[in-house]
Structure 1
Amino acid sequence: MHFYFRINICHLRLLPLLAAVMFLNGCSRHKSGHFLYGSNCGICHHGGQGMAGSVPPLTGRIDRIASTPEGKRYLAAVLMNGLSGPIKANGVAYEAEMPPFRYLSDEDAAQILTYLSSQGTTKPAPVITAADVAEARAHRVGASGVATLRETLGQSNPLP
């Protein structure tokens, strides 16, 4: 009987540790837009500033592009289909080659785009939804086709 009591006390001492492990495990399942950006896009776009001449900056631009429904569709299309060809961002020329990120779930892609949108000056920041991404995923176009979408969008809404 004395042994049984000691085991229960030991188990009680482990409860806070067990609760912490369960909490942290639950947190790791929900990945923030910042985390998803860093592990998928940050490799090339770095902290959002891009790389001169080859990788355009994202911060301070995505929110302005996402301010219209057409802009949201374009951004989702870029993430789902990639982008190839010359573009201008903030008046600087880039020779962009971005692969498609179709392996991302609609929700994860939406979190990345919404996170990037929140890094701009537009308040409230435009939100890109999983439904926006699902629509882009359903309309597959080649990376050069996305460049054409960009040109069309730029004619009606000048892109930063």
Structure 2
Amino acid sequence: MKKMLAAALYGLPLFATPALAADGPALFQANCSVCHQGNAQGLPGQFPPLAGRIGKIAATPEGRNYVIAVALNGLMGSITAQGNSYAGFMPPFKTLPDDQIAAILNHVAGLPAGPDATLFTAADIAAGRTESLTPTTVAEKRKALDAQHPLP
């Protein structure tokens, strides 16, 4: 009874719905847009663009693993994206559930104009959690990947 009253007073749903976890656009807006902007175009010199890049990077298994590593462990150091240099720190988002991280990554992989991609699953994110990396190590992983498959 108290739960129902609290839900009614605060306009909260009584039960969490799985659809909320699968809402990539809303999750991106809530967790990523403050830096990468609402359209995932980034801010030149400050935050790299994601739109038009994540799907290309994730086209190889190594690229998919790298994207997952960034989402889970963050990234620290200098990178180049679309010919522009960025030096900074992206925080890890490992506190988010696996299905939410997958939904965010699928949303971004489909940008700028397409529907959400289906490249990442919650199981992929869970597998990525088995490798504990520092943000600096993720940057080193990026350099190795870029040497193997030039990143956009």
The TM-score by the shorter chain falls in which range?
Answer: 0.7 to 0.9
1:67-115 per-position Cα deviation (integer Å, ceiling 9, x unaligned): 1111110000000000000000001000131000011111100000011
Query: Could you tell me whether the CA contact under 8 Å between 2:109 and 2:116 is conserved in 1?
Result: no
> How much is the aligned-residue C-alpha RMSD, in angstroms?
2.3
- For 1:72 and 1:150, the matched residues in 2 are separated by 11
Residue of 149, 152, 160 corresponding to 2:141: 149
- State the secondary structure of the residue aligned to 1:30: helix
Equivalent runs, 1:115-134 vs 2, <5 Å: 115-120=107-112, 125=117, 127-134=119-126
Q: Give the share of equivalent positions with the same residue, in percent.
A: 41
Residue of 16, 34, 37 corresponding to 1:43: 34
Query: Could you tell me whether the CA contact under 8 Å between 2:36 and 2:47 is conserved in 1?
Result: yes
Query: How far 1:25 moved relative to its partner?
Result: 7.0
Structure 2 unpaired stretches of 5+: 1-10
TM-score (norm 1): 0.78
Residue of 19, 22, 34 corresponding to 1:30: 19
- For 2:124 and 2:18, the matched residues in 1 are separated by 23
1:14-56 per-position Cα deviation (integer Å, ceiling 9, x unaligned): xxxxxxx9xx877865220000000001111112011111100
- Equivalenced residue count is 139
Structure 1 unpaired stretches of 5+: 1-20
Larger Rg: 1
TM-score (norm 2): 0.82
